[in-house]
Structure 1
Amino acid sequence: MQAIGGIIVSQTLIQADDTITLWGILIVWASVSIYLEQRYSWASKISGAIIALIGAIFLSNTGIIPTESPVYDSVWGVIVPLAIPLLLFHVNIKKIWKESGKLLLIFLLSSVGTVAGTIISFFLLKDHIPYLDKIGAMMSASYIGGGVNFAAMAAKFEAPGELVSATVVADNLMMAIYFIILMIIPTLAFFRKRYSIPHVLEVESGSNNESGKTLAESFWKRKDISLKDIALSVGTAFLLVIISFKIAGFFDTLVPSGEDASILFNLLNGLVGDKYLVLTTMTFIVLGLFPRYFDNINGSQEIGTYLIYIFFVVIGIPASIPLIIKNAPLLLLFVFIIVLINMIVSLLAGKLLKANLEDILLASNANIGGPTTAAALAIAKGWKDLIGPILVVGTIGYIIGNYVGTLLGFWFSTMV
């Protein structure tokens, strides 16, 4: 990066304001990832999601594309919200509520893993990393909820800007690595022998019916779709996003939140003011009210999945390896310990509860990366019945994350 006339200019081959080129790269690489996954067995085993991630990490770390751009913000702000209802249009609502209870318990136990990991990591590294009390507050909140909680804790504890930036880079790199690990775990014999994997087996059994095709190609087989299907899918999804975000925005301003508000108001704000939770709820409501309408729409799952693959590319872009090596190698170690202990606690707790491996991995993913990345994992693996439940359960982390981060932050501040 270099400053010219007070403006920061990225020293990359493609500039951050080259909108059409960056959109083109995101879309082309997402398309290539899908093609490779469905064309070659090796790519199907790795998954298109990992190919998308690794390609993005390569492009950003070799200086071809910038690590920040308004284009990436648009993916988070428009593409991801649009994908959520599209992917829920053909979900079995009765099965959603049946699965959510079990997932919620595993998610809460996984959150205990985040707390334990943060405490252990803090005591191991508190003498080596400055402001680790503030970082601990930010990461514990983020690794239970998401980026919203990270920002809230950064503001609450008044963390220095350069510290926030370095932590974000470490977090992004760790999340990209962990997402790849989560994608690989269900393919390993060690875990397949020790955990029940009904959703994995369902997807794999579906592929056995069509020889010569990869797992992904068989799952995403050709379907009848019309122009009307595309219009109704995208139009309905956009309408739901607009209405839901307006409702969430209204309640977010109406219901007090923050340091001066009571716990009850903060909890209420987290429920009715969170746009993703409102969007998921609104989608469930209209699915229940107009089941025949959605049964007659084809292609929504395919369109939504394509949008999520664009999101996969964006996830990998901020993972700047040179920045971590130069500025914050110990921060990467700090978040690595948290993630490792979260994974261990999640797997052990899930084993004791005799939970499915898919539920455990999604619960851990929802903790570390938030509900949207957990839903993306479910989509990439073909676990379509778990997309809705993990979106619902994962949003609980937004509510409890700030409380955990605040408590740990105040406790840690007494020891630095």
Structure 2
Amino acid sequence: MNVSLIPADAHFAVAAALFAIALFGFWAEKQAWGRVLTGAVWVLLTAILVSNVGIIPKSADFYGLVFSYFVPVLIPLFLLRADVRKIIAESGRVGLGFLLAAMGSAIGAMVGVHLLDLGAKEAELGGIFTATYVGGSVNYAALIQATGFDDANVISAATAVDSLMSALFLAVIAIMPASSWLMGRFAQRDHSQAEPGAPTESLDDSDEPGISAFSLCAALVFSISVVALSDALILLLQSLWDGSDFKPLRYIFITLLSVLPATFAPKTMQSLRGGEEIGLILAFVFFAAICAGADVFALLGTAPILLAFVVILLLIHGAVVFIGAWCINKGLRVVGGRGDAAQLSLPELIIASNAAILGATTAPALAMARGWPALVTPGILVGVAGYIIGTPLGILVVTLLSR
């Protein structure tokens, strides 16, 4: 029986609780004691706690509203800067490393599903983890919604395992450059100075106009319009090909319609300041809603098998990135000439792998922390590329595993 301090039919009270949990997540990750975890993890833990002690309901109509409306709207908000031409032109060798990283995540997910019994919806789990280990939380949310995955216990356990293993993975790749033997296996290149003409951008450039009511409203109008147009395209295709189901293409259309203006009208899209921040708020509320239905004991029972799955995925990801790049370098050495300039260094691979597993914000942070300013911009660009390809690649993995 779903008995809680906040009744399930008190919609505004439930909404207030979810947004308060999201706010706590933002606040906690800024505190000295809270920096060991990300804001998303604090949201996850808090939502599980307050639902299991009976403060918020385990199920409520408002949760359904979050799943149906918040997730599709947050995706275009994350893609406002997804200029494909810029990504291809400026990501360089890190872009090649990122392609290996995305491939490694997809292969790792498929191998993990085949080696382990993850249950009836193992194909969906494979796609969800592929998406999050290519693009991050925005793609994670999109795949959950696109596949209709509704097991709150599994999702909560997956989020917890993802956070733990991502942190461990970051620690491992951060110390890899300390090995002179590893560094010597790849191309030697100085990344301590920004390349000539390379912009020193970030996800929050201080020299751009600030956030305003106009920019926030414009970002929301753009995002909601993209979702509306995507749904209209699906209805059109359904009417043209009666009996066919085009609904799985919804998030691909949303991604495509977001990327096109970001690519061909980049200045206009980048002026929509505050869109990414709104998207992050909606993502945190989504995590709170999805984890509110988790049962602690069921979650603990699910976590070990998911932990094994993620270990397999990350091991294969690492093998594809680092061993694959070593093989590519070997081939380029045979070619010689211009092939030498295309060889990948260990720092370039580390930033590419980081961008895939942990996202566009941690990759430039690691580059600066390791003294590689030349890799800051490529790290941001390939991270944004992950937002673009994460959802379609995740859906592809679900399709392949479902056969």
Report the secondary structure of 1:90's partner residue.
Answer: coil
Within 5 A, what are the aligned runs for 1:43-62?
Answer: 43-62=34-53
1:55-107 CA distance string (max 9 Å, x none)? 11211222222233232222222222222222222344324346676544433
CA distance in 2, matches of 1:103, 1:252: 35
| Code of the aligned partner of 2:175 | K
2:8 alignment partner in structure 1: 16
C-alpha change, 1:298 and 1:170, in structure 2 (3 Å) is closer
CA distance in 1, matches of 2:210, 2:122: 51
Is structure 2 residue 19 aligned with structure 1 residue 30? Answer: no
Report the secondary structure of 2:402's partner residue.
Answer: helix
- Residue 177 of structure 1 deviates from its aligned partner by 1.2
2:175 alignment partner in structure 1: 193
1:3-29 CA distance string (max 9 Å, x none)? xxxxxxx12222322211111011122
1:240-279 CA distance string (max 9 Å, x none)? 221122223433564578xxx8xxxx9xx58xx5222211
- Residue 351 of structure 1 deviates from its aligned partner by 2.4
User: What TM-score results when the alignment is normalised by the length of structure 2?
Assistant: 0.68
Q: 1:310 aligns with which of 285, 288, 294?
A: 285
- Residue 401 of structure 1 deviates from its aligned partner by 1.5
C-alpha change, 1:226 and 1:364, in structure 2 (3 Å) is closer
CA distance in 2, matches of 1:138, 1:87: 23
CA distance in 2, matches of 1:221, 1:337: 45
1:110-167 CA distance string (max 9 Å, x none)? 2322232233324xx9xxxxxx6x455564565556446755xxxxxxxxxxxx97xx
C-alpha change, 1:172 and 1:352, in structure 2 (3 Å) is same
Q: 2:384 aligns with which of 377, 388, 410?
A: 388
Within 5 A, what are the aligned runs for 1:119-134?
Answer: 119-122=114-117, 134=120
CA distance in 2, matches of 1:306, 1:324: 25
Q: 1:118 aligns with which of 98, 113, 130?
A: 113
CA contact (8 A) 1:13 1:64 kept: yes
- Residue 52 of structure 1 deviates from its aligned partner by 1.6
Within 5 A, what are the aligned runs for 1:329-348?
Answer: 329=301, 331-348=302-319
1:158-203 CA distance string (max 9 Å, x none)? xxxxxx97xx244213212123225523652x3302269xxxx99x
Q: In percent, how many aligned pairs have the same letter?
A: 19
Is structure 2 residue 175 aligned with structure 1 residue 184? Answer: no
CA contact (8 A) 1:173 1:321 kept: no
C-alpha change, 1:70 and 1:95, in structure 2 (3 Å) is farther
Within 5 A, what are the aligned runs for 1:177-326?
Answer: 177-185=160-168, 188=171, 190-194=172-176, 224-251=210-237, 254=240, 269=246, 274-324=249-299
C-alpha change, 1:233 and 1:24, in structure 2 (3 Å) is same
C-alpha change, 1:375 and 1:81, in structure 2 (3 Å) is farther
1:405 alignment partner in structure 2: 402
C-alpha change, 1:221 and 1:45, in structure 2 (3 Å) is farther
CA contact (8 A) 2:87 2:382 kept: yes
Is structure 2 residue 345 aligned with structure 1 residue 360? Answer: no
Cα RMSD of the aligned pairs, angstroms, is 4.1
Unaligned stretches of 5+ residues in structure 1: 2-9, 126-131, 152-163, 203-215, 366-373, 407-416
CA distance in 2, matches of 1:180, 1:357: 18
2:58 alignment partner in structure 1: 67
User: What TM-score results when the alignment is normalised by the length of structure 1?
Assistant: 0.66
CA contact (8 A) 1:67 1:318 kept: yes
- Residue 313 of structure 1 deviates from its aligned partner by 2.4
| Code of the aligned partner of 2:80 | F
| Code of the aligned partner of 2:164 | I
CA contact (8 A) 1:144 1:401 kept: no
1:154 alignment partner in structure 2: none
C-alpha change, 1:135 and 1:283, in structure 2 (3 Å) is closer
| Number of residues of Structure 1 aligned to a counterpart in Structure 2 | 334
- Residue 229 of structure 1 deviates from its aligned partner by 1.8
CA distance in 1, matches of 2:272, 2:152: 41
